[in-house]
């Protein structure tokens, strides 16, 4: 009887362990197949040659059969000319530099608008913080595309801003802001602002107010207390928010395509055109790999910060 | 001190104006009679009527809702497993890689996600014969892959912030892990599941880049239709559509927050009852 019970218990605990394994394995395998493997394929295809075929790239590995000798050999062709093309053509280098510049300006603008907002919400009455944060996040739930579209009507010549300036008397005639770098800055800042405010708010809200009181008691002016206490303590939030804005902004496609001019070159746009207009899949893959190389350090910092926050939350 | 409070209020006001004025203008001009979207010429609802007769747009909307519902459901299932694995299972082999694969899609540029998934589907078709061409299935898989990360993060933070003692008590009383999960953990993380599902649904409904890469002929999603029509300039029909979408989202969020607040109050009342009785 005892033996039966113990067998049953060990059987059940094995099912428990087995169940645990399944719970990990399902998302793990999904991510390996649909996230990890695709990168390896992109990496592989970036070394192939563009050919006119379906699919339009040469295969890297071939079995060559020698009929006379009766042997066959494995041939691996790695073509690195795609990368030379990226390094040698001004268009690509310019697009990379432009993307970094536009993403950096967007991040700074988000920080400039988002920090005072997050600070004000964290200082507000506790009962009002929830609804105030809700109002920041709410636009994020409405379509990204629709929000970019809203700015077209505002920024174009004869648009809302143009008419307003004319009405006030500052300008005589339509002002075209649309199709310029500034339009892209405004649109991207608009879309990414919630990503900046969220982590800033969560670090500022956790801050102990007694530190500021102590500083005030010791005669520190509010502005100085802010610089020497609040700002350093909110640094994790600043880093997390900046990375959440900067990393996707570098690879942004929709905003520069809809709001930017033809010379607002960004790397996401170059990749899109290589793929859809030129149908050059290998070069598009090389552009993607180069973009990832630019982003790998910020992404690793982000994961480090993210991991630390998860540890702290536990 | 007084002066700084003033500055903060102005900053807050400016921030909210920046966030909401564009959406408000969008809604106002959807009722404009003129085809010129930004010049007011009189109240009219004719663009809403035209919207109802735009078959291409309605078909795309139907397809998008289908894809969003299926991929949100799949990503809640996968994201819950991932969230559990990351918070409740301690260290296991390959945890670092797993954690990395969960957070990386959050910041991955969409063009890279789209291109890499397309190349995977093409390669799979070549070697395995599946998926046969691209369409609803490939879009659904792609959307599940990038939305499950968001769901996993939402559920992970809910699980991490939750008191583990209830689960431990059930375990001590001899409940098996599966039973503990379904009877204790699942009801407690239900709000996070709902939030995760809604988040995945909206992200899927919003995506134009990834869908453009992995869709095939005959499977055009709503954002793809909006994107191509916006590229040719603004049209009042898109304003009308945007207004409807904002309305749906606002209603959904409003209902969800009321339900969650009520549940929260109920839970607090139950806890107090338990304390008083116990």
Considering the domain architecture, whether residues A237 and A168 belong to the same structural domain is answered as yes
Closest C-alpha to A282, from B160, B110, B199, B122: B122
In a domain, A209, yes or no: yes
pLDDT, tens only, B101-122: 888 888 888 999 999 999 999 9
Average pLDDT over residues A53-80: 75
Return the SS3 of B62: helix
Closest C-alpha to B153, from A130, A27, A203, A19: A27
- What is residue A311's predicted lDDT score, i.e. its pLDDT? 64
Considering the domain architecture, whether residues A290 and A179 belong to the same structural domain is answered as yes
pLDDT above 70 covers a percentage of chain B that reads: 97
pLDDT, tens only, A144-169: 888 898 898 888 877 778 888 888 87
pLDDT beyond 90 at B76 = yes
pLDDT beyond 50 at A314 = no
Axis crossing angle, helix A281-313 with helix A81-88, rounded to the nearest 10: 80
Q: Please give the Cα distance from A147 to A151 (Å, whole number).
A: 7
Q: Please give the Cα distance from A237 to A231 (Å, whole number).
A: 10
Q: Categorise residue A70: left if φ over 0, alpha if ψ from -120 to 50, beta otherwise.
A: left
User: Is residue B223 very low, low, confident or very high in pLDDT (cuts 50, 70, 90)?
Assistant: very high
**How many cross-chain Cβ pairs, A to B, lie less than 8 Å apart?**
248
Average pLDDT over residues A129-140: 86
Closest Cβ–Cβ partner in A145, A284, A298 for B223: A145
Considering the domain architecture, whether residues A42 and A107 belong to the same structural domain is answered as no
User: Is residue B250 very low, low, confident or very high in pLDDT (cuts 50, 70, 90)?
Assistant: confident
pLDDT beyond 80 at A9 = no
User: Is residue A116 very low, low, confident or very high in pLDDT (cuts 50, 70, 90)?
Assistant: very high
Closest C-alpha to A281, from B217, B120, B144, B124: B120
Q: How many CB atoms lie within 10 A of CB A157?
A: 15
Are the C-beta atoms of residues B39 and B31 closer than 8 Å to each other? no
Name chain A contacts of B23, Cβ cutoff 8 Å: 139, 142, 147, 150
Q: Please give the Cα distance from B78 to B202 (Å, whole number).
A: 17
Q: What share of chain B is helix, strand, coil (3-state, %, to 5)?
A: 80, 0, 20
**Interface-testing mutation among B79, B111, B257, with chain A (most A C-beta atoms within 10 A):** B111
Average pLDDT over residues B28-41: 77
User: Is residue B4 very low, low, confident or very high in pLDDT (cuts 50, 70, 90)?
Assistant: low
Q: Please give the Cα distance from B59 to B82 (Å, whole number).
A: 34
Q: Please give the Cα distance from B124 to B122 (Å, whole number).
A: 5
Considering the domain architecture, whether residues A181 and A307 belong to the same structural domain is answered as yes
- What is residue B2's predicted lDDT score, i.e. its pLDDT? 45
Opening angle at CA B65, ends B61 and B71, nearest 5: 140
Name chain A contacts of B257, Cβ cutoff 8 Å: 134
Considering the domain architecture, whether residues A89 and A72 belong to the same structural domain is answered as no
Residue B93 phi, psi dihedral angles, 5° rounding:
-65, 130
Q: What is the ipTM of this complex?
A: 0.85
Are the C-beta atoms of residues B101 and A35 closer than 8 Å to each other? yes
Q: Please give the Cα distance from B75 to B182 (Å, whole number).
A: 18
Q: Please give the Cα distance from A191 to A179 (Å, whole number).
A: 17
Burial class (CB in 10 A: 0-12, 13-18, 19+), A251: buried
Return the SS3 of A66: strand
- What is residue B44's predicted lDDT score, i.e. its pLDDT? 82
In a domain, A262, yes or no: yes
Whether B111 sits inside 8 A of A251 (CB atoms) is: yes
Residue window 175-214, chain A: list those with CB within 8 Å of chain B.
190, 193, 197
Mean pLDDT taken over chain A:
84
In a domain, A94, yes or no: yes
Classified by CATH at the fold level, domain B54-277 comes out as MetI-like fold (1.10.3720)
Which of A44-48, B68-72, B218-222 has the highest mean predicted lDDT (pLDDT)?
A: B68-72
Identify the bridge partners of residue B43 per DSSP, sorted by sequence position: B32
Compute CA distances A113 → A106, A150, A303, B1, B170, whole Å: 11, 19, 25, 21, 48
Range of the domain at A135: 82-313
pLDDT beyond 70 at A49 = yes
Name chain A contacts of B208, Cβ cutoff 8 Å: 145, 254
Average pLDDT over residues A66-84: 77
Per the structure, how many domains does chain A have?
Answer: 2
- Is the four-CA dihedral A260, A300, B151, A204 of positive or negative sign? negative
Considering the domain architecture, whether residues A163 and A303 belong to the same structural domain is answered as yes
Closest C-alpha to B209, from B139, B134, B120, B149: B139
- What is residue B1's predicted lDDT score, i.e. its pLDDT? 43
Residue that is written with structure tokens 């990990």 in the block: A24
pLDDT, tens only, B133-183: 788 999 999 999 999 999 999 998 888 888 788 888 888 888 888 888 888
The answer to whether A251 contacts chain B (CB < 8 Å) is yes
Question: Per residue, what are the HEC states of B66-105?
Answer: HHHHHHHHHHHHHHHHHHHHHHHCCCCCCHHHHHHHHHHH
Considering the domain architecture, whether residues A64 and A86 belong to the same structural domain is answered as no
Are the C-beta atoms of residues A250 and A295 closer than 8 Å to each other? yes
CA distance B102 to chain A (A): 8
- What is residue A165's predicted lDDT score, i.e. its pLDDT? 82
Average pLDDT over residues A128-132: 86
Q: Which two tokens stand for residue B63?
A: 């397809």
Name chain A contacts of B15, Cβ cutoff 8 Å: 113-114, 116-117, 136, 193, 197
Q: Please give the Cα distance from B10 to A302 (Å, whole number).
A: 31
Q: How many CB atoms lie within 10 A of CB B45?
A: 11
Closest Cβ–Cβ partner in A37, A148, A253 for B120: A37
Q: Which residue did the predictor score with more confidence, A304 or B278?
A: A304
Considering the domain architecture, whether residues A72 and A165 belong to the same structural domain is answered as no
pLDDT beyond 60 at A87 = yes
Considering the domain architecture, whether residues A62 and A178 belong to the same structural domain is answered as no
Closest C-alpha to B220, from B126, B278, B136, B161: B136
The whole-model pTM stands at 0.85
Considering the domain architecture, whether residues A71 and A38 belong to the same structural domain is answered as yes
Which of A64-73, A126-135, B74-83 has the highest mean predicted lDDT (pLDDT)?
A: B74-83
pLDDT beyond 90 at A38 = yes
Average pLDDT over residues A165-178: 80
Considering the domain architecture, whether residues A142 and A53 belong to the same structural domain is answered as no
Q: Please give the Cα distance from A3 to B174 (Å, whole number).
A: 19
CA distance A67 to chain B (A): 26
Considering the domain architecture, whether residues A50 and A86 belong to the same structural domain is answered as no
Q: Please give the Cα distance from B122 to A55 (Å, whole number).
A: 7
- What is residue A140's predicted lDDT score, i.e. its pLDDT? 81
pLDDT beyond 70 at A4 = no
Are the C-beta atoms of residues A286 and A147 closer than 8 Å to each other? no
What CATH number should be reported for the domain holding residue A106? 1.10.3720.10
pLDDT beyond 60 at A260 = yes
Closest Cβ–Cβ partner in A24, A36, A159 for B101: A36
Closest Cβ–Cβ partner in A26, A222, A291 for B112: A291
Q: Please give the Cα distance from B104 to B119 (Å, whole number).
A: 19
In a domain, A21, yes or no: no
Residue of B nearest to A139 (CA): B19
User: Is residue B185 very low, low, confident or very high in pLDDT (cuts 50, 70, 90)?
Assistant: confident
Average pLDDT over residues A54-61: 77
CA distance A153 to chain B (A): 6
In a domain, A16, yes or no: no
Opening angle at CA A21, ends A19 and A22, nearest 5: 65
Are the C-beta atoms of residues A44 and A60 closer than 8 Å to each other? yes
Compute CA distances A204 → A122, A190, A193, A237, B15, whole Å: 6, 22, 16, 8, 17
């Amino acid at each position: 009887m005892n033996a039966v019970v113990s067998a049953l218990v060990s059987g059940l605990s094995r099912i428990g362990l087995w169940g645990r394994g399944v719970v990990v394995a399902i998302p793990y395998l999904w991510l390996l197949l649909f996230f990890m493997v695709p990168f390896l394929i992109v990496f592989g295809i970036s070394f192939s040659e563009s050919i006119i075929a379906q699919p339009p790239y040469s295969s890297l590995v071939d079995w060559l059969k020698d009929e006379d000798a009766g042997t066959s050999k494995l041939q691996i062709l790695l073509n690195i000319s795609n990368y030379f093309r990226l390094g040698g053509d001004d268009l690509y280098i310019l697009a990379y530099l432009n993307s970094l510049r536009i993403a950096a300006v967007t991040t700074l603008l988000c920080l400039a608008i988002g920090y005072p907002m997050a600070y004000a919400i964290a200082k507000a009455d506790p009962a009002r913080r929830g609804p105030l944060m809700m109002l920041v996040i709410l636009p994020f739930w409405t379509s990204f595309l629709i929000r970019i579209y809203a700015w077209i009507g505002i920024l174009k010549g004869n648009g809302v801003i143009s008419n307003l300036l004319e009405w006030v008397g500052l300008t005589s005639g339509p002002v075209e802001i649309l199709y310029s770098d500034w339009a892209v800055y405004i649109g991207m800042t608009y879309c990414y602002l919630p990503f900046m405010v969220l982590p800033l708010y969560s670090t500022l809200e956790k801050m102990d107010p007694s530190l500021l009181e102590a500083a005030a008691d010791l005669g520190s002016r509010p502005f100085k207390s802010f610089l020497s206490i609040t700002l350093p303590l909110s640094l994790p939030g600043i880093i997390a928010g900046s990375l959440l804005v900067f990393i996707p902004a570098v690879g942004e496609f929709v905003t520069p395509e809809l709001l930017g001019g033809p010379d607002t070159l960004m790397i996401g746009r170059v990749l899109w055109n290589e793929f859809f207009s030129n149908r050059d899949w290998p070069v598009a893959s090389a552009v993607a790999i180069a973009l990832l190389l630019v982003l790998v350090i910020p992404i690793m910092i982000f994961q480090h910060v993210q991991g630390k926050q998860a540890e702290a939350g536990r | 001190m007084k002066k700084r409070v003033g500055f903060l209020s102005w900053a807050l006001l400016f921030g909210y104006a920046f966030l909401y004025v564009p959406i408000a203008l969008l809604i106002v001009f959807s009722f404009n009679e003129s085809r010129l979207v930004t010049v007011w010429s009189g109240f009219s609802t004719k663009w809403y009527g035209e919207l109802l007769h735009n078959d291409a747009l309605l078909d795309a909307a139907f397809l998008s809702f289908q894809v969003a519902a299926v991929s949100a459901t799949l990503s809640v299932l996968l994201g819950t497993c991932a969230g559990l694995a990351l918070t409740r299972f301690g260290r296991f082999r390959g945890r670092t890689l797993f954690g990395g694969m969960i957070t990386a899609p959050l910041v991955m540029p969409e063009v890279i996600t789209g291109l890499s998934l397309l190349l995977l589907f093409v390669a799979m078709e070549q070697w395995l014969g599946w998926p046969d061409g691209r369409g609803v299935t490939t879009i659904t898989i792609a959307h599940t892959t990038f939305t499950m990360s968001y769901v996993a993060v939402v559920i992970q933070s809910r699980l991490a912030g939750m008191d583990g003692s209830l689960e431990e008590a059930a375990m001590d009383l001899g409940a098996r892990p599966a039973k503990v999960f379904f009877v204790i953990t699942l009801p407690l993380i239900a709000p996070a599941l709902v939030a995760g599902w809604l988040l995945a649904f909206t992200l899927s409904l919003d995506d134009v880049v990834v869908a453009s890469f992995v869709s095939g002929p005959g499977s055009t999603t709503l954002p793809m239709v909006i994107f191509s029509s916006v590229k040719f300039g603004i049209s009042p029909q898109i304003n009308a559509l945007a207004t409807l979408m904002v309305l749906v989202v606002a209603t959904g969020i409003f209902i969800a927050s009321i339900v969650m607040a009520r549940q929260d109050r109920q839970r607090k009342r139950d806890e107090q009852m338990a304390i008083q009785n116990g």
